[in-house]
Structure 1
């Protein structure tokens, strides 16, 4: 979960933030998240996952820090 991602190579500045159930993630990721049941994922418009973070606010902050416009997925 601590793998750096280079956000600067993307052309489209919109990213999507959505909730992810920890139970749906690979076992190695589940082992790292402790007692959390949901995480928040940041995705490109093409569906590529850029980040997986512990809370919604962090996901939006991360996107904005890299000059992206985050949009919530319902």
Structure 2
């Protein structure tokens, strides 16, 4: 089984900058494509076999720093 890993900037190059076409390819909204269009390394997102995977790390980190009353 071949695994293809791509990023949104790579797809934007393939589609000549067409954000709508990239959104259709990965089945997501245009604003999501705009959100990750500067992430050239797959640090915050990766497209694996046509499925968008995002990093949701550090969620709730601001709550953990404060002690509970």
TM exceeding 0.5: no
Greater gyration radius: 2
Higher relative contact order (CA 8 A, sep 6+): 1
